[in-house]
């Protein structure tokens, strides 16, 4: 039966080059053998179904990308009514599910002096989330036609998020991620600039304190590295609390911390007084879970007057002074011994 129908003629859906789907009548004058006709018919149907599947998959793929994009996507009609919003837009404006649909775009995006039909193609604007807190956003608007409708898509980026991301990147590059104090690169850079300033300011001194926690390995071995990390973070917090705004606290790695004291007018006596205050603050007991811990420290001090020393030389002197404390029994303060004359 199928073969006879195919021999008489078939109606077939064909995809034209212009992508318009139309119905065509295929007249077959000389009917092929029934088996061949059926195979040809099946091939046409399979090809058409494949095109439909490919189109649906492509649409689904694009929809998934837009829905999961980091930027907010708002599609709105010419009069301003929002017809589509992705997850990022719903999150940015604080609206659940499809609550944005149907709202006027001017309710959620404000560009001073213009209406929805004249939003700038690009620039900054004010977003008005549901909670009432206004946000600065970056806006890109493009107009297009779809199904004979004039629509616009607005891509919205939260500038506050971008600034926070930049801040996190800077934090990662110059600060110790565990303790939040300066890392080696930032500390060395600040010390270099402090020494240059000392060359221009008569009577100003720069001191470096090299601080090593006493018996810290025992804490890691007995309580674990997570407990050790909490100790390091607490020590860093206490060090910062001892310092002036102009001073810098850094972590060189492991249980080694460094402190730069800039523009010292009291020289060696002032540096030693600060170092002993650090010992008292770091050595105060603190709770770690159900335990009460007490951490000691050895502090070595190196002093430069007039910016005559290089960064590495000043740090090396402070490091050697710290090891003098270790050899003398720990938990103390020492200035570096003067290098022997060559």
Assigned domain for 168 exists: no
Assigned domain for 204 exists: yes
What's the CA gap between 130 and 112, in Å, rounded?
19
CATH of the domain at 92: 3.30.450.20
Q: What's the total number of domains in the chain?
A: 3
* Same structural domain, 302 and 211: yes
* Same structural domain, 143 and 250: no
Residue 49 belongs to what domain range?
2-67
Burial class (CB in 10 A: 0-12, 13-18, 19+), 281: middle
* Same structural domain, 146 and 256: no
Give me the pLDDT at residue 114, please. Answer: 52
Ordered alpha helix ranges (H), 68-158: 87-93
Tell me how far the alpha carbon of residue 171 is from its chain's centroid: 10
168 pLDDT band, cuts 50/70/90, is low
Give me the pLDDT at residue 67, please. Answer: 83
Assigned domain for 167 exists: no
What's the CA gap between 263 and 219, in Å, rounded?
36
Residue 144 pLDDT more than 90? no
Assigned domain for 188 exists: yes
Higher pLDDT, 285 or 265: 285
Residue 7 pLDDT more than 60? no
* Same structural domain, 121 and 267: no
Give me the pLDDT at residue 157, please. Answer: 87
Average pLDDT over residues 27-52: 63
* Same structural domain, 78 and 63: no
3-state class percentages of the chain: helix first, strand second, coil last, to nearest 5? 45, 30, 30
Give me the pLDDT at residue 171, please. Answer: 62
Give me the pLDDT at residue 210, please. Answer: 97
> 247: helix, coil or strand?
coil
- Interval 61-85: pLDDT, tens: 777 888 888 888 989 998 889 999 9
Give me the pLDDT at residue 38, please. Answer: 58
What's the CA gap between 250 and 84, in Å, rounded?
50
Identify the domain boundary among 102, 128, 162: 162
Residues 6+ apart with CB under 8 A from 289: 227
* Same structural domain, 200 and 321: yes
Give me the pLDDT at residue 231, please. Answer: 94
Assigned domain for 170 exists: no
What's the CA gap between 36 and 183, in Å, rounded?
77
Average pLDDT, the chain: 80
**Do residues 282 and 235 touch, judged by C-beta distance below 8 A?**
yes
Residue 34 pLDDT more than 80? no
- CA 321 to each of CA 44, 70, 261, 262, 334: distance values in angstroms, whole numbers, following the listed order: 88, 52, 16, 19, 6
Residue 18 pLDDT more than 60? no
- Determine how many CB atoms are found less than 10 A away from the CB of residue 228: 21
Give me the pLDDT at residue 30, please. Answer: 52
- 286 phi, psi to nearest 5 deg: -145, 155
Beta bridge partners of 209: 259, 301
Assigned domain for 17 exists: yes
> 166: helix, coil or strand?
helix
Residues 6+ apart with CB under 8 A from 235: 179, 213, 257, 282, 295, 297
What percent of the chain shows pLDDT beyond 70? Answer: 79
* Same structural domain, 124 and 255: no
Average pLDDT over residues 261-284: 91
Average pLDDT over residues 321-332: 92
* Same structural domain, 289 and 319: yes
Identify the domain boundary among 162, 195, 227: 162
* Same structural domain, 27 and 137: no
Residue 229 pLDDT more than 70? yes
Higher pLDDT, 41 or 52: 52
* Same structural domain, 193 and 307: yes
Average pLDDT over residues 147-167: 78
Assigned domain for 38 exists: yes
Residue 142, CB half-sphere, CA atoms under 13 Å: how many? 5
Beta bridge partners of 11: 25
Tokens of 178: 């565990």
The pTM of the full predicted model, rounded to 2 decimals, is 0.53
Mean pLDDT check: name the lowest of 123-132, 139-148, 198-207.
123-132
Task: Tell me the Ramachandran region of residue 22: left when phi exceeds 0, alpha when psi lies from -120 to 50, beta otherwise.
Answer: beta
* Same structural domain, 58 and 77: no
CA Rg, the chain, in Å? Answer: 36
Identify the domain boundary among 47, 67, 87: 67
Higher pLDDT, 135 or 241: 241
Average pLDDT over residues 173-185: 90
Parallel, antiparallel or unpaired: strands 135-146 and 297-305: unpaired
> 328: helix, coil or strand?
coil
**Do residues 250 and 184 touch, judged by C-beta distance below 8 A?**
yes
* Same structural domain, 55 and 99: no
Give me the pLDDT at residue 111, please. Answer: 67
């Amino acid at each position: 039966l199928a073969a006879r129908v195919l021999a008489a003629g078939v109606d077939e859906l064909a995809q034209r080059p212009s992508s318009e789907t139309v119905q065509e009548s295929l007249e077959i004058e000389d009917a092929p053998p029934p088996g061949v006709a059926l195979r040809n018919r099946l091939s046409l149907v399979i090809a058409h179904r494949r095109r439909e599947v490919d189109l649906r998959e492509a649409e689904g793929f694009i929809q998934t990308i837009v829905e999961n994009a980091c930027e907010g996507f708002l599609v709105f009609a010419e009069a301003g009514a929002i017809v589509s919003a992705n997850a990022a837009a719903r999150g940015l404006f604080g609206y659940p599910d499809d609550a944005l649909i149907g709202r006027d775009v001017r309710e959620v995006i404000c560009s001073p002096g213009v209406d929805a039909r004249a939003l700038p193609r690009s620039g900054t604007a004010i977003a008005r989330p549901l909670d009432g807190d206004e946000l600065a956003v970056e806006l890109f608007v493009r107009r297009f036609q779809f199904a004979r409708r004039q629509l616009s898509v607005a891509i919205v980026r939260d500038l506050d998020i971008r600034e926070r991301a930049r801040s996190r990147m800077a934090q990662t590059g110059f600060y110790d991620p565990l303790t939040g104090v300066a890392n080696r690169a930032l500390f060395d850079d600040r010390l270099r600039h402090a020494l240059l300033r000392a060359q221009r300011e008569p009577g100003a001194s720069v001191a470096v304190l090299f601080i090593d926690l006493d018996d810290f390995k025992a804490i890691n071995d007995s309580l674990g590295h997570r407990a050790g990390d909490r100790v390091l973070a607490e020590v860093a917090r206490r060090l910062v609390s001892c310092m002036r705004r102009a001073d810098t606290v850094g972590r060189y790695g492991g249980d080694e911390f460094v402190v730069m004291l800039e523009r010292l007018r009291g020289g060696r006596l002032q540096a030693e007084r600060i170092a002993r205050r650090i010992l008292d603050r770091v050595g105060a007991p603190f709770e770690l879970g159900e335990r009460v811990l007490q951490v000691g420290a050895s502090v070595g001090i190196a002093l430069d007057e007039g910016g005559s020393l290089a960064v590495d030389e000043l740090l090396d002197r402070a490091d050697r002074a710290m090891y003098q404390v270790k050899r003398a029994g720990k938990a103390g303060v020492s200035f570096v011994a003067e290098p022997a004359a060559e």
